Amino acid sequence: MAAAMRTALLLSLVALGGCSIPTTGVVPLTDGLNKVTRQGNGFWVTTASLKTDAVAEANASCAPRRARVIDVKETQAKPMGGWPEAEVLFKCE
């Protein structure tokens, strides 16, 4: 019985881990402003790596121009399911 409950709990955690959104893609806002949000799928993911990935995605979307980063918001992992995030606001120049 205990083994069945552990297996069910493990499967539930794996399923919930798959629900996280790795990226929103480029979201156009107003006045040429765009946003990319990257979310980790666990507490072990650093916000620095998420920020690096989000800036790279912003630069790729602006090619051949470059992205000018306006603001970066980083959110650390929280207990009980709050995954780390990095949000980058940018304009293509």
What is the maximum span of the chain, computed from C-alpha positions, in angstroms? 61
pLDDT at 57: 92
pLDDT at 44: 84
pLDDT at 77: 81
Q: Is the peptide bond before 64 cis (omega within 30 degrees of 0)?
A: yes
Q: Are 51 and 86 in contact (CB under 8 A)?
A: yes
- Record the pTM: 0.71
Q: Are 74 and 51 in contact (CB under 8 A)?
A: yes
pLDDT at 2: 61
Which stretches of the chain score pLDDT less than 50?
8-20
pLDDT at 90: 94
